[in-house]
Amino acid sequence: MVSASGMNVDYINPFIEATVTTFQSMCSLLVAREKVFLKGNDQVNYGVSGIIGLAGEAQGAVVLSFPEDTARKVIGKLVGEEFETINAAVVDGVGELTNIIAGDAKNRLAQKGYKFDLGLPRIVSGRSHIAAQSRGVQCLVITFKSESGPFSLEVSLKKTG
């Protein structure tokens, strides 16, 4: 099934489910999906983002983005520490969380018969950075809320072949 954005919803739901499950199991955080919308070219990401490229029967990327305050709190819950600032441990934690979510979603997609390969996570930090979108590939943004603060998941996948 294809959504109005032209993106197969079979590709998107496993990422949403993986995000909810990962935050609950790894960070003891309940998260709730808020909004789903198409990303515009001028929208700004939060302060810290983990990005993983995907290849296979569709190609694109998944971006997990946090405001700095949320990143510190979420990664603090993940590793059992408190962080006053964004440091190497927080940045590494965002990469690890992104990797766990992407791996979980890849497994969920495999159960539906889809085959994807994951790249290594890259981290971008700094206020108001913009993660570039692939040309011609629409990006779906899913915003979440949690007791540690808001964050978003961006999924942009285009069927290959």
pLDDT by residue for the chain (161 residues), tens digit each?
444 445 567 788 999 999 999 999 999 999 999 998 888 755 656 789 999 998 888 888 899 999 999 999 999 999 999 999 999 999 999 999 999 999 999 999 999 888 889 888 888 887 654 554 455 677 889 999 999 999 999 988 887 76
For residue 23, the model assigns a pLDDT of 97
Candidates 2.40.30.260, 3.40.1550.10, 3.90.320.10, 1.10.220.10; CATH matching 9-159: 3.40.1550.10
β-pair partners for 51: 63, 122
pLDDT at 3: 45
DSSP letter at 2 equals B
Helix/strand/coil for 135: coil
pLDDT number for residue 4: 41
CA distance 3 to 127: 32
For the chain, what are the domain ranges? 9-159
Residue type, 80: G
pLDDT at residue 148, rounded to an integer: 96
Return the DSSP state at 29. Answer: -
pLDDT at 151: 95
Burial of 159 (0-12, 13-18, 19+ CB in 10 A): middle
